[in-house]
A and B are shown apart, each in its own frame.
Chain A
Amino acid sequence: MIEGLREPDGGNIVIDGQAVWPKPEATKRLIGVQLQSTALFDYLTVREMIILFGTFYGLRLSNSDADQLLDTVGLTEKHKAKVNELSGGQQQRLSIALSLVNDPMIIFLDEPTTGLDPQARRRMWDVIRDISSQGKTVVLTTHYMEEAEVLCGRVAVMDKGKIISLDTPLNLVKSLGAKAKITFNCEPKLDIDTLKGLPGTTDVSEIEQSYIVYSKDVQNSVLGILGEAKENNSLVENLSVSGANLEDVFLHLTGRGLRD
């Protein structure tokens, strides 16, 4: 709706003082968009793509303008490659370069790292940080919580089309009230309510064979879990303690289990 693709049935969207609807053409000039599916014209070179997209904004970009954009996304040496010769990560970066042709105030990135290998993903993070440091607002949609934690100044958690929480990553993690999470499996199983009653425990969840115990007092929680296990003749395995992160916030807020 902000991008001008679908008309909202209620409410207002304002970008830089201009209402997006009913005529989204004006605000389309202020924003850059990278869509989730990055299909582009095959058989055009990377540089030709940039220049072509420039003309959609009434711009006549020179080769050096195009190369400058390609530099931002690290595709300089690929300027003569055809779009269909690029790897998935390179296509994603080209797609981001295309969203920058009109020097937008706001850029929307829809899951830019989905399907990329870890190396390509790090590369993408650098690109996004770079854009952000140019003073542009980056709106990033992602399923990867560590990505949001590393890149974002503010995180909105959406569930079923509603924003259920909006804050900095740090504050969101703090809101969990837990310092750490303790993960383990055990056989036979322990009573989940007993675990919830252990000292320092803020929340417990059971996902498949594992228990996740959120705690603000790690030492006492671990001792409590082990004591409980011993009493029930249960064997505890794969016990790990880690700091709570954004993923835990997401799971906590949306009620367990990542939904697509």
Chain B
Amino acid sequence: MISYLSMVSANFKMTVRNRQSLFWLFVFPILMMTLLGIVFGGISNQGASIAVVSKEKSQVADSIYKSFKEIDSFTVEKQSEGRALKELKNGDLDAVIVMKKGFASELEQNSREFNQGEISGSEPSPPKPAKIELFFDPSSTFTSQAVRGAVTNVIAEINKKMSNTPDLIAVESQSVRSADLRYIDFLVPGIIALTLMNSALFGLGGTVVNYRERGILRRLKVTPQPLSGFIAAQITNQLVFSILRAALLIIVAQALFGVAVLGDYISLIIVVIVGSLTFITIAFSIASFSRTRETNDTLSNIVSMPMMFLGGVFFPVDSAPAWIQPLIRIMPLKYLGDAMRDVMIKGEGLTNSNVMFDMYILLGVTLVFFLISIRLWKWE
């Protein structure tokens, strides 16, 4: 136990004294986040302009129009369909919401039918929804995502109003948040996930391979101290630094860009720990194959590069082409990023089914790579 603790504190000292490792561990992620935040952070739905097209005048259409108007960050105007779609194509508009002729009466009729069904006590069939059409330009991913989110929320709100369900406040807060989603809000959880991957693969994996290459593991092996204790200390340090780095990134993002964490910190820390463990086991698996640090770095690059660009760190990948989706679906970084965003942006906790799903996937991957690294690991 003393040896484990002193190994942990020795690792800590070594990392803190090594300027290069400090740079990669802390300075580089902060620089990357800050630069991307400054360059692209302004891209958001702030000033996103949408047009509401109603083919006929009705009270419902008016109230929908008003609901959008209430969202501060949207510029909303009434337009004719033809002109609105043209402006969308030109890029002057970000989204167009169209209510067809007869929308109001259809809605009214559907709701009447449903209510009558309830009153008469006959088999209550679910209400038929009346359709709203939403046109948007998928090339401006952030705006369109935000608009889609906002539209969904506004409609949900109206639906609830119409069916008299009381929890209006919760819906409202959600819609405001989703309308406020900026690139930097999307980016910060992604960057944190990315640093968990890279620090494990290149930091921890590289260090351990280096120790093996230079005979340090062999030197430790001639002492009575079991090498498993040494590995445990390495993992401990990795976890501690991961949490510290995530905290630092969030503090800087908060100070510079006003990024807020909506979820609870316990959930966030647990997501960070699980994600870190996943990539630690992947790192040890890669390290098992690598005789030299160069091999380790090359293999790590092969593993991390696709995830870095396709794992949803810098841009959302849900709208990526279908043929690439299976590849994205096997990337652990994608699930980590999703979980981080669910907690940080959407304010979910571990009990949320999406977060739980991501966690199970990550824990499964961890178990698989744990077994692989145990099986293949070489001390010398």
Question: In the complex the two chains form, what is the Cα distance from A44 to B6 in whole Å?
Answer: 12
Is residue B57 within 8 Å, beta carbon to beta carbon, of the partner chain? no
**Which listed residue, A35, A43, A60, touches B2 by the CB 8 Å rule?**
A60
Q: Which residues of A sit under 8 angstroms from B220, Cβ to Cβ?
A: 56
Which A residues are CB-close (under 8 A) to B10? 41, 44, 48, 52
Q: Are the CB atoms of A56 and B215 closer together than 8 Å?
A: no
Of A37, A56, A60, chain B has the most CB atoms within 10 Å of the CB of A56
A-B contact count (CB 8 A): 66
Q: Which of A9-62 contact B (CB under 8 A)?
A: 25, 28-29, 31, 33, 35-37, 39-44, 48, 51-53, 55-58, 60
Q: What is the minimal beta-carbon distance from A77 to any residue of chain B, in angstroms? A: 21
Pair A37/B3 contact, Cβ less than 8 Å? no
B221 contacts which chain A residues (CB < 8 A)?
A: 4-5
Number of interface residues of A (CB under 8 A): 27
Q: Which of B13, B222, B224 contacts A44 (CB 8 A)?
A: B13
Does B291 interact with chain A (Cβ within 8 Å)?
no
Contacts of B219 in A (CB 8 A): 33, 35, 39-40
Provide the residues of chain B in CB contact with A43, threshold 8 Å.
13-14, 17-18
B172 to chain A, nearest CB (A): 54
Nearest CB on B from A37, distance (A): 4
Query: What are the residues of chain B within 8 A of A25 when measuring CB–CB?
Result: 224
B90 CB–A CB distance under 8 Å = no
Q: A37-B214, A37-B215, A51-B6 are in contact. Are A56 and B17 (CB under 8 A)?
A: no
Residue A189 is within 8 A (CB to CB) of chain B in the complex: no
B218 within 8 A of A: yes
Please give, as numbers and ranges, the residues of chain B lying within 8 Å of A196 by CB-CB distance. Answer: none
Q: Which of B18, B214, B222 contacts A28 (CB 8 A)?
A: B222
Chain B residue numbers with a CB within 8 Å of A58 are 2-3, 224
Residue from A29, A42, A55 within 8 A of B6 (CB atoms)? A55
In the assembled complex, B216 has its CB within 8 A of some CB on chain A: yes
Query: Considering the chains assembled together, what is the distance between the CA atoms of A65 and B373 in angstroms?
Result: 39
Count residues on chain B whose CB falls below 8 Å from chain A CBs.
Answer: 21
In the complex, the answer to whether A56 meets B18 with C-beta atoms within 8 Å is no
Interface SS of chain B: helix
A3 at the interface (CB under 8 A from B): yes
Are B222 and A52 in touch, CB under 8 angstroms?
no
Q: Enumerate chain A residues within 8 angstroms of B6, measured Cβ to Cβ.
A: 51-52, 55
* Chain B residue at minimal CB-CB distance from A25: B224
Pick from B2, B7, B224 the residue with the most CB of A within 10 Å. B224
Within 8 A of B (CB), among A57-88: 57-58, 60, 82
- Report B1-29 CB contacts with A as 1/0, cut-off 8 Å: 01100110010011001100000000000
Contact mask B208-226 → A, CB, 8 Å, 1/0?
A: 0001001110111111110
Cross-chain contact B13 with A55 (CB below 8 angstroms): no
Chain A nearest CB, measured from B131 CB (Å): 65
User: Which one of A31, A42, A60, A82 has the greatest number of beta carbons of chain B within 10 Å?
Assistant: A42
**Given A56-B3, A58-B3: A3 touches B222 (CB 8 Å cut-off):** yes
B380 CB, min distance to chain A CBs, angstroms: 8
Chain B residues, Cβ within 8 Å of A37 = 214-215, 218
In the assembled complex, which residues on chain B have CB atoms less than 8 Å from the CB atom of A5?
218, 221-222
Contact A33 B13 (CB under 8 A): no
Question: Which single member of B13, B216, B224 contacts A29 (CB below 8 Å)?
Answer: B224
Docked CA distance A4–B6 (Å): 24
Partner of B216, one of A41, A52, A57, A60: A41
Chain A residue contacts of B17, Cβ below 8 A: 43, 82
Given A5-B218, A37-B214; A56-B13 close (CB under 8 Å): no
20 residue pairs from A and B, CB less than 8 Å apart: A4-B221, A4-B222, A5-B218, A5-B221, A28-B224, A29-B224, A35-B218, A36-B215, A37-B214, A37-B218, A39-B211, A39-B219, A41-B14, A52-B7, A55-B3, A55-B7, A56-B3, A56-B225, A58-B2, A82-B17
The 4 tightest CB contacts between A and B, nearest first, are A39-B214, A56-B225, A37-B215, A56-B223
Residues of B within 8 A of A (CB): 2-3, 6-7, 10, 13-14, 17-18, 211, 214-216, 218-225
Given A56-B224, A57-B225, list of 14 further CB < 8 A pairs? A5-B222, A25-B224, A31-B222, A35-B215, A35-B222, A36-B215, A37-B218, A39-B211, A41-B216, A42-B18, A44-B10, A52-B10, A55-B7, A82-B17
